[in-house]
Amino acid sequence: MNDRSNTPVSGESLLFLTDEQLRKGIEAMFFAYRGFTADPDRILDEHGYGRAHHRALHFINRTHGTTVNNLLAILGVTKQSLNRVLRTLIADGLVESRVGRTDRRERNLYLTEAGRELERALSEAQRERMRAAYRAAGPQAVAGFRQGLEAMMDHEIRRHYANLRDRRP
């Protein structure tokens, strides 16, 4: 329809992309994300949880002792929405909420042993999928894959992500 030409993406060129090529990328993104979440979704379902729980577990595990406000910023949801999820995770003994030491208004969040166990099962499924994808795509594709993903994030979120990356214990 609006395709400019049939010129493919050539090695080192100025990057002419047809609408057709872009459409394929868009659909690949859609289907890939579905594949990416499929395995955890099955595990979560067995426990009566959803993706929202997975996200919370992931980021609490990744930044031990993070505060509720911090989590809100990363996840980009409302306090009420997150609270509903956190409440069940705490009630089920997967997450522990401790009053902050320096600022007693804050709550620091930690995974319990049970929480770590579920998180490990979820992330292992996802890591395995990621490994398989990397294997299938080949070593030379790995860098390009990550670069493409990072370039697609919103800038502020990418900053967030970069900060998180460095702040690791």
Question: Is residue 120 packed enough to be buried (19+ CB in 10 Å), middle (13-18) or exposed (0-12)?
Answer: middle
Q: With CB cut-offs between 5 and 8 Å by kind, which of DNA, its own copies, none does residue 86 bind?
A: DNA
Residue 19 lies near its own copies (rule: CB under 8 A): yes
Q: Of 42-50, 87-95, 100-108, 147-155, which part binds its own copies (CB under 8 A)?
A: 147-155
Q: For the CB of residue 120, give the shortest distance to DNA in the complex, in Å.
A: 19
Q: For the CB of residue 117, give the shortest distance to its own copies in the complex, in Å.
A: 13
Which amino acid appears at position 3 of this protein? D
Q: Which of 35, 38, 31, 30 is nearest to 54 (CA)?
A: 38
Residue 153 lies near its own copies (rule: CB under 8 A): yes
Residue with tokens 């990057």: 15
Compose the 100-129 pattern: x for residues touching its own copies by CB under 8 A, - for all others. Answer: -----------------------x--xx-x
DSSP 3-state of 11: coil
Residue 66 lies near its own copies (rule: CB under 8 A): no
C-alpha 41/C-alpha 107 separation (Å) is: 28
